[in-house]
Amino acid sequence: MLNAVTDDFVDLLRTLLDAAAFRSDIAPYFSEPRGRWRGQGLVVAPADTAAVAALAAACAAARIGIVPYSGGTGLVGGQIMPDGPAPVILSLERLNKIRAVYPSENVLVCDAGVILANVQQAAADADRLFPLSLASEGSARIGGLLATNAGGVNVLRYGNARALCLGLEVVRPDGTIWHGLTRLRKDNTGYDLRNLMIGAEGTLGIITAAALRMVPRPAQVGAAMLAVPSPQAALELLALAGSQVGDGLQAFELIHRQGFDFLAEVGPEVRQPFDDIPEWCVLIDLGMPAGGNPDAALENLFAAAFEADLVTDGVIAQSAAQRQALWDIRENIPEANRRIGSISSHDISLPLSAVPDFIAQASAALQALGDMRINCFGHLGDGNLHYNLFPAAGRQRADYDAIRVEAVTIIYDLVAGLDGSFSAEHGIGRLKVADLEHYGDPVKLAMLRAIKDALDPLGIMNPGAVLRQA
Amino acid sequence: MLNAVTDDFVDLLRTLLDAAAFRSDIAPYFSEPRGRWRGQGLVVAPADTAAVAALAAACAAARIGIVPYSGGTGLVGGQIMPDGPAPVILSLERLNKIRAVYPSENVLVCDAGVILANVQQAAADADRLFPLSLASEGSARIGGLLATNAGGVNVLRYGNARALCLGLEVVRPDGTIWHGLTRLRKDNTGYDLRNLMIGAEGTLGIITAAALRMVPRPAQVGAAMLAVPSPQAALELLALAGSQVGDGLQAFELIHRQGFDFLAEVGPEVRQPFDDIPEWCVLIDLGMPAGGNPDAALENLFAAAFEADLVTDGVIAQSAAQRQALWDIRENIPEANRRIGSISSHDISLPLSAVPDFIAQASAALQALGDMRINCFGHLGDGNLHYNLFPAAGRQRADYDAIRVEAVTIIYDLVAGLDGSFSAEHGIGRLKVADLEHYGDPVKLAMLRAIKDALDPLGIMNPGAVLRQA
């Protein structure tokens, strides 16, 4: 069993950490974006890796839980421990330095508390691109983005956070420091600890720094929004785009007309590019090196796809502003969703070829359950759908309390039956622990537990996240 | 302590496995490419995953070691257990089916015993590319390639084996089966077991099947061999190529004139493209989608690089045959090395910007140690050098017995001092266990040991590989 933070423990920490580590305005650390939980505990922001290590060692000695807190933008409660013995909330916010930039190596080394937008800017300052990009990039911090293996809109081309990390510095729950901050592209010397820590959601250790992979900035970019007759056509268009433009394909996002309708209903205001909003459309984004011609590539793609009945209408951005306007539609859908207020939200992935079946089957099963609106959109190129349920017009979220659990079960059972995942990019946190137990392969669960017990034998790291407390 | 295979144990296995599982011609399983070790044990080739599981469970019950044997091409002795209680050599050769190909998903699922060249062919039959490519592709099997996280010539563009795998089926040392054979691009549901198994060299379980990532076949390819004035110039050329051709850059290989000299001395015969062989040259390979023009890109690159004094001479392949001829040079250097006979061979990686310093410092220190020939070549785009030492002309390998250990120490100490790795793509096996202990971060070593003990508590999986037997 873990112990709660006591006054004596706080006194001890005051001898180990500088005064600035103790935060006064602690309310923000106790809430999370979806408002499901209220947090608790002692908020501490160590100044550097050594201070994190001292803090971890003290917590281990006292058997006090540590909840790493990065940008606080997680959607599954990984950053909030609502009950149990009061833990230490370990904020990364003061680990905020870009340590070094190596343009010739396409590598950037930074503290784990640096905000994603600042990493993007540091890369841009070196004429490089750090391609991780997602809605919360103005507040999400690198440590949490790695701990949750964040995805976003450029995964199709550049991979998720895991693919963009070469090395890590990690404080273990016993206070020792793993110096794994390598800039190497190849290093086959023992088990892959980097990828084990990435995606572990702070349950195996505290990421304090990372060596990140930058890429050349695409010299030429372009975007198009194309109406497709069906999700199946969208998939075939994706394959056609892959064969025509190869790695130049940066993003391939599916949008249902429900997203446009929500934007019209509650904002944010966007300029929608179609005379008649299609039931389904895709946003395609291209990036090419110097000499490439994304607009011509998009025109060729449109022509070939139109010929093959894969698209029925479309616009190709004629300027950077038009490209941004197309992206504004995609990026404002989550805010419109928030304003409408979902019955439930799902971050699922499927084998690509199973996506059309899922959409058809889920829609039929849910409409049989009750009158609701479904907003299905997301990263089709990755097989990752954000599949969110909303009240029918004029009804309230609370009207659906009786069927919410059944709706979620319908969706996750369908996903499991099609070999998909109930958490594509958001992680497990505390929200989906029971789902992992229910849908996870028992042999996998046994291995997760064995690893957790091996690397955090006292169970102090982010207690109750990913795995139920032993 | 482990037990040796006994006659009674063989009798037991005969009740669990079909007759074909027991191999008659066992000599090949007891040798390895570099002739350092002789193996021992009972060679068994289970027919399918269920048979592998039954075998593992029997070994666990009897506490008998299991040495997974894939293509047998490993260079660090991971597939050979030369001493200790006679183990079971578990050959993957009968797990040889392509299970399914999903062209629209760019996914191929196959048994772990399929030979790499057959996977490449299955992908080609679906008009796709499986980009893993290396010298032993005609005999190396997928299970071993994944267990060692193999590299090869296309890592620069497509990543190593790890980056080409979406899911695994693994038999654990207790005989349970982890069904992790997902085709998903995104799945954040618990720790990254896939990447933990990849690169574990069969010490945590037996990979029995994999879901592999295919990519669109580049429609247009091209290659050039360019003379560069120095390794530093080669690095700057790499950066220039990255900015000019982006992801189209498939391979960027460094070759020292020693390689040409060895080919001239002992063959294999190749057509060398330069009037005067330069001290350093690079082989650049491009692949582009339809509409791309690799030849024009290479001409532009040559012109810009010549202007910037980064290249002094060069040839651009004018046909597929010429491109192959350039690759023949690169691919025959390892065979020439074998014919010469090395004093010692090293598979190292470095931060890209440290490569020139390493080459200069290592050469100076080694020449001070004794008169020898150094053949330095490899995957510069990945910071991965094959750095091999050979006797001076007219001298023998045995003449260097007295200084071999010192030479290796010079190289690995330099690599460590420059934050490099003493094993970039070959792994640890049994050859480099002591190096891992010496050069590895102690905290890392503690974590490796904890994971090994957690996932293979009896220590039966590939005993003595990666980690010394506990």
For residue A326, count CB atoms less than 10 angstroms from its CB and return exposed for 0-12, middle for 13-18, buried for 19 or more.
buried
Gyration radius of chain B over CA positions:
23
Residues 14-53 of B with CB under 8 A from A: none
- Is residue B379 very low, low, confident or very high in pLDDT (cuts 50, 70, 90)? very high
Three-class DSSP labels, B401-434:
CCCHHHHHHHHHHHHHHCCCECCCCCCCCCCCHH
A450 part of contact set with chain B, CB < 8 Å:
yes
Taking alpha carbons only, the member of B378, B148, B408, B397 closest to residue B258 is: B378
CB B216 within 8 A of CB A243: yes
CB B182 within 8 A of CB A441: no
Instruction: Tell me which long-range contacts A299-307 makes (C-beta under 8 A, separation of at least 24).
Output: A300/A244, A300/B291, A301/A224, A301/A237, A301/A240, A301/A241, A301/A244, A301/A245, A302/A224, A302/A226, A304/A240, A304/A244, A305/A226, A305/A237, A305/A240
Average pLDDT over residues A284-313: 93
The Cα–Cα gap between A265 and B238 comes to 51
Q: How many CB atoms lie within 10 A of CB B271?
A: 9
All residues of chain B having their beta carbon less than 8 Å from the beta carbon of residue A246 are 216, 218, 247, 288-289
Would the pLDDT of B117 be above 90? Answer: yes
Would the pLDDT of B24 be above 90? Answer: no
- Contact (CB<8Å) B242/A451: no
* 3-class SS of residue A90: strand
In single-letter form, the type of residue at position A394 comes to G
CB B282 within 8 A of CB B339: no
Would the pLDDT of A290 be above 90? Answer: no
Would the pLDDT of A470 be above 80? Answer: no
* 3-class SS of residue B150: coil
Q: What is the pLDDT of residue A24?
A: 85
Average pLDDT over residues B372-383: 95
Give the range among A36-50, B23-37, B179-193 with minimum mean pLDDT. Answer: B23-37
A436 part of contact set with chain B, CB < 8 Å:
yes
Q: What is the pLDDT of residue B291?
A: 77
- Is residue B470 very low, low, confident or very high in pLDDT (cuts 50, 70, 90)? confident
The Cα–Cα gap between B37 and B397 comes to 18
Q: Where are the beta strands (DSSP E) in B189-279?
A: 206-213, 215-216, 220-228, 249-256
All residues of chain A having their beta carbon less than 8 Å from the beta carbon of residue B291 are 244, 296-297, 300
Tens of pLDDT, residue by residue over B195-206, are 999 999 999 999
In single-letter form, the type of residue at position A326 comes to L
Q: What is the pLDDT of residue A262?
A: 97
* pTM beyond cutoff 0.95: yes
Give the range among A24-28, A190-194, A301-305 with minimum mean pLDDT. Answer: A24-28
Torsion angles phi and psi, residue B431, rounded to 5: -65, -35
The Cα–Cα gap between B361 and A227 comes to 60
Alpha-carbon dihedral of residues A218, A221, A227, A232, nearest 10 degrees? -20
All residues of chain A having their beta carbon less than 8 Å from the beta carbon of residue B222 are none
Of B149, B182, B455, the CB nearest to A447: B455
Q: What is the pLDDT of residue B52?
A: 98
Taking CA–CA distances from B432, the nearest residue in chain A reads A189
In single-letter form, the type of residue at position A268 comes to P
Q: What is the pLDDT of residue B265?
A: 94
All residues of chain A having their beta carbon less than 8 Å from the beta carbon of residue B380 are none
All residues of chain A having their beta carbon less than 8 Å from the beta carbon of residue B200 are 191-192
Residues in contact with B364: Cβ distance below 8 Å, sequence separation at least 6, in sequence order: none
Tens of pLDDT, residue by residue over A275-288, are 999 999 999 999 98
Q: What is the pLDDT of residue B290?
A: 77
Most A-contacting residue of B191, B249, B431 (CB-CB within 10 A), to test interface: B191
Average pLDDT over residues B421-434: 96
Kindly give the pairing relationship between strand A384-391 and strand A372-379: antiparallel
Tens of pLDDT, residue by residue over B237-279, are 999 998 888 888 999 999 999 999 999 999 899 888 999 999 9
For residue B385, the Cα-to-chain-centroid distance in whole angstroms is 12
Cis geometry, peptide bond prior to residue A273 (ω within 30 degrees of 0): no
- Is residue A267 very low, low, confident or very high in pLDDT (cuts 50, 70, 90)? confident
- Contact (CB<8Å) A192/B195: yes
Q: What is the pLDDT of residue B289?
A: 81
Q: What is the pLDDT of residue A247?
A: 82
All residues of chain A having their beta carbon less than 8 Å from the beta carbon of residue B49 are none
Q: What is the pLDDT of residue A291?
A: 77
Q: What is the pLDDT of residue B272?
A: 85
The Cα–Cα gap between A280 and B278 comes to 58
Averaged pLDDT score across all residues of chain B = 96
B319 part of contact set with chain A, CB < 8 Å:
no
The Cα–Cα gap between B278 and B233 comes to 13
Tens of pLDDT, residue by residue over B90-106, are 999 999 999 999 999 99
Nearest Cα of chain B lies from the Cα of A370 at a distance, in angstroms, of 29
The Cα–Cα gap between B100 and B92 comes to 18
Task: Count Cβ neighbours within 10 Å for each residue of A340-356 and write b for 16 or more, e otherwise.
Answer: bebbbbbbbbbbbbbbb
Share of chain A above pLDDT 70, in %: 100
Of B177, B199, B455, the CB nearest to A450: B455
For residue A439, count CB atoms less than 10 angstroms from its CB and return exposed for 0-12, middle for 13-18, buried for 19 or more.
middle
- Is residue A153 very low, low, confident or very high in pLDDT (cuts 50, 70, 90)? confident
A-B contacts at Cβ under 8 angstroms: 285
Taking alpha carbons only, the member of A104, A100, A103 closest to residue B233 is: A104
Alpha-carbon dihedral of residues B439, B440, B442, B446, nearest 10 degrees? -140
- Contact (CB<8Å) B419/A182: yes
User: What DSSP character marks residue A27?
Assistant: G
Nearest Cα of chain A lies from the Cα of B396 at a distance, in angstroms, of 31
User: What DSSP character marks residue A110?
Assistant: E
Nearest Cα of chain A lies from the Cα of B426 at a distance, in angstroms, of 7
The Cα–Cα gap between B322 and A122 comes to 42
SS3 content of chain B, % helix, strand, coil (to 5): 40, 20, 40
Tens of pLDDT, residue by residue over A403-456, are 999 999 999 999 999 999 999 999 999 999 999 999 999 999 999 999 999 999
B265 part of contact set with chain A, CB < 8 Å:
no
Average pLDDT over residues A232-252: 92
Torsion angles phi and psi, residue A425, rounded to 5: -135, -5
In single-letter form, the type of residue at position A113 comes to G
Most B-contacting residue of A108, A185, A249 (CB-CB within 10 A), to test interface: A185
In single-letter form, the type of residue at position B266 comes to V
